[in-house]
Amino acid sequence: MSRRCVICGKQPQTGNLVSHSNRKTKTRFYPNLQRVRMILKGKRVRDYVCTGCLKAGKVQKAL
């Protein structure tokens, strides 16, 4: 899995998990990707799209 949105290019980001005692450990924050059948460049494709693009209507679903 590529962990990258096909439409907007959203990908994992790095950051810190901060505990109550303010210790910091590195972590990765992954985008919420869903596998969707859609029409991309005139062809039916099954690929990964983030939920933000789905809710915004940037994806034309293939039935």
pLDDT of residue 54: 95
For domain 1-63, the CATH architecture is Roll (2.30)
The residues near 33 (Cβ < 8 Å, ≥ 6 apart) are: 1, 3, 5, 48, 49, 50, 51
The number of CA neighbours under 13 Å toward the Cβ of 3 is 7
pLDDT at residue 47, rounded to an integer: 94
The reported pTM is 0.81
Could you read off the pLDDT of 6-55 as tens digits, one per residue?
Answer: 999 999 999 999 999 999 999 999 999 999 999 988 999 999 999 999 99
